[in-house]
Amino acid sequence: MAMDPALVRLGNMIQNRYKYFRWTRRTAGITFMYVVVVPGIIGYLGYKTDGLWDLRAKRRGDIISER
């Protein structure tokens, strides 16, 4: 069974991606989003909702919100 040349090229490209990577405006923006913005949003939401809900030992009819 012969190897598909397109799949061979794709495999080589994936293995050697680090050799051809360049910092461009686009890659810097994407990196900034995943390193700073996304954790910042998750941290902010976690901080704002800390202690807002107590999901432990709730029964039917009890309210979730504690405030």
- The CA-CA-CA angle for residues 25, 28, 30, to 5°, reads 110
Amino acid 22: pLDDT: 94
Amino acid 57: pLDDT: 73
d(CA 29, CA 33): 6
Strand partners, 65: 53
pLDDT for residue 67 is more than 70: no
pTM: 0.59
Q: What average pLDDT does this structure show over 10-30?
A: 94
